[in-house]
Chain A
Amino acid sequence: MGEGEGLAAPQPALPAGAGQDVGRSCILVSIAGKNVMLDCGMHMGFNDDRRFPDFSYITRNGRLTDFLDCVIISHFHLDHCGALPYFSEMVGYDGPIYMTHPTQAICPILLEDYRKVAVDKKGEANFFTSQMIKDCMKKVVAVHLHQTVQVDDELEIKAYYAGHVLGAAMFQIRVGAESVVYTGDYNMTPDRHLGAAWIDKCRPNLLITESTYATTIRDSKRCRERDFLKKVHETVERGGKVLIPVFALGRAQELCILLETFWERMNLKAPIYFSTGLTEKANHYYKLFITWTNQKIRKTFVQRNMFEFKHIKAFDRAFADNPGPMVVFATPGMLHAGQSLQIFRKWAGNEKNMVIMPGYCVQGTVGHKILSGQRKLEMEGRQLLEVKMQVEYMSFSAHADAKGIMQLVRQAEPESVLLVHGEAKKMEFLKQKIEQEFRVTCYMPANGETVTLPTSPCIPVGISLGLLKREMVQGLLPDAKKPRLLHGTLIMKDSNFRLVSSEQALKELGLAEHQLRFTCRVHLHDTRKEQETAMRVYSHLKSVLKDHCVQHLPDGSVTVESILIQAAAHSEDPGTKVLLVSWTYQDEELGSYLTALLKKGVPQAPSGGS
Chain B
Amino acid sequence: MKLYCLSGHPTLPCNVLKFKSTTIMLDCGLDMTSTLNFLPLPLVQSPRLSNLPGWSLKDGNVFLDKELKECSGHVFVDSVPEFCLPETELIDLSTVDVILISNYHCMMALPYVTEHTGFTGTVYATEPTVQIGRLLMEELVNFIERVPKAQSASLWKNKDIQRLLPSPLKDAVDVSTWRRCYTMQEVNSALSKIQLVGYSQKIELFGAVQVTPLSSGYALGSSNWIIQSHYEKVSYVSGSSLLTTHPQPMDQASLKNSDVLVLTGLTQIPTANPDGMVGEFCSNLALTVRNGGNVLVPCYPSGVIYDLLECLYQYIDSAGLSSIPFYFISPVANSSLEFSQIFAEWLCHNKQTKVYLPEPPFPHAELIQTNKLKHYPSIHGDFSNDFRQPCVVFTGHPSLRFGDVVHFMELWGKSSLNTVIFTEPDFSYLEALAPYQPLAMKCIYCPIDTRLNFIQVSKLLKEVQPLHVVCPEQYTQPPPAQSHRTDLMIDCQPPPVSYRRAEVLTLPFKRRYEKIEIMPELADSLVPMEIKPGISLATVSAVLHTKDNKHVLQPPPRPAQPTGGKKRKRASDDIPDCKVLKPLLSGSIPVEQFVQTLEKHGFSDIKVEDTTKGHIVLLQEAETLIQIEEDSTHIICDNDEVLRVRLRDLVLRFLQKF
Contacts and interface: CB of A to CB of B under 8 A. Distances in A.
Interface in A555-570: 561
A585 B541 contact: no
Contacts of A288: 341-342, 344, 355, 358, 360-361
A575 interface: no
A406 interface: no
B499 to A, nearest CB: 26
B520 A475 contact: no
A485 B542 contact: yes
B358 A281 contact: yes
B658 interface: yes
A502 B356 contact: no
Interface residues on A, range: 35 or more
B520 A593 contact: no
Contacts of B580: 485-487
Contact of B356 (A104, A458, A505, A522): A104
Contacts of B334: 302
Contact of B537 (A490, A503, A593): A490
Interface string A442-456: 000000000000001
B635 A586 contact: no
A148 B648 CA distance: 55
A290 B515 contact: no
Interface in A518-541: 518-523
A514 interface: yes
Nearest to B360: A288
Interface in B174-203: 197-202
Contacts of B512: 464-465
B47 to A, nearest CB: 38
A145 B346 CA distance: 12
A514 B199 contact: no
Given A147-B199, A288-B344, A592-B641, A516 B519 contact: no
A513 to B, nearest CB: 5
Interface string B342-363: 1111000000100110101100
B586 A518 contact: no
B571 interface: yes
A492 B537 contact: yes
B579 A492 contact: no
Contacts of A290: 342
B604 to A, nearest CB: 22
Contacts of B630: 512
Interface stretch (A60-68, A320-328, A429-437, A493-501): A493-501
B494 interface: no
A434 B517 CA distance: 30
Given A144-B198, A144-B199, A475-B546, A520 B638 contact: yes
A468 B514 contact: yes
A285 B361 CA distance: 12
B534 A596 contact: no
B320 to A, nearest CB: 33
A471 B515 contact: no
Contact of A593 (B575, B584, B585, B638): B575
B632 A516 contact: yes
B513 A517 contact: no
B644 interface: yes
A313 interface: no
A545 interface: yes
A278 B522 CA distance: 60
A381 B545 CA distance: 74
A142 interface: yes
Interface in B627-645: 630-639, 641, 644
B633 A491 contact: no
Contacts of A158: 201
B355 A105 contact: yes
B582 interface: yes
B543 A147 contact: no
A545 B572 contact: yes
Interface in B606-658: 630-639, 641, 644, 648, 651-652, 655, 658
B540 interface: yes
Interface string B549-586: 00111001100000110000001100111111111111
A483 B557 contact: yes
Contact of A519 (B515, B516, B572, B635): B635
A544 B573 CA distance: 11
A10 B534 CA distance: 27
Contacts of B150: none
Interface residues on B, range: 35 or more
A502 B582 CA distance: 10
A260 to B, nearest CB: 20
B614 to A, nearest CB: 12
A554 interface: no
Given A472-B546, A484-B543, A509-B531, A489 B538 contact: yes
A604 interface: no
A547 interface: yes
Contacts of B556: 483, 485
B382 interface: no
A340 B589 CA distance: 91
A302 B648 contact: no
Contact of A585 (B358, B361, B582, B639): B582
A59 interface: no
Interface in A267-306: 281, 284-285, 287-291, 301-302
A346 interface: no
A586 B579 CA distance: 6
B292 interface: no
Interface in B103-159: 127
A291 to B, nearest CB: 6
A191 interface: no
Given A509-B535, A547-B572, A587 B635 contact: no
Contacts of A177: 517
Contacts of B648: 516, 518, 585, 588
Nearest to B126: A144
Contacts of A484: 543-545, 577
Interface centre among A288, A460, A586 (most CB of B within 10 A): A288
Contact of B200 (A148, A281, A458, A490): A148
A145 to B, nearest CB: 6
Contacts of B520: 7-8, 456-459
A50 interface: no
A284 B360 CA distance: 9
A157 B195 CA distance: 21
A517 B344 contact: no
B358 A486 contact: no
Contacts of A587: 579, 582
B487 interface: no
Contacts of A464: 512-514
B528 interface: yes
Nearest to A496: B535
A432 B536 CA distance: 47
B244 interface: no
Given A589-B579, A592-B564, A7 B523 contact: yes
A461 interface: yes
B532 interface: yes
Nearest to A586: B582
B518 interface: yes
Contact of A145 (B198, B578, B658): B198
A494 B651 CA distance: 32
Contacts of B352: 101, 142
17 contacts: A104-B356, A289-B342, A458-B517, A459-B518, A462-B514, A485-B544, A489-B538, A490-B539, A499-B516, A503-B584, A512-B586, A516-B633, A517-B632, A520-B644, A545-B571, A589-B563, A592-B564
Those 6 A-B pairs whose CB atoms lie nearest each other, nearest first = A458-B517, A456-B520, A502-B584, A589-B578, A462-B513, A144-B198
Given A487-B540, A505-B658, 13 more contacts: A105-B356, A460-B518, A486-B540, A490-B526, A502-B539, A506-B658, A512-B630, A515-B585, A515-B631, A521-B639, A589-B582, A592-B641, A595-B639
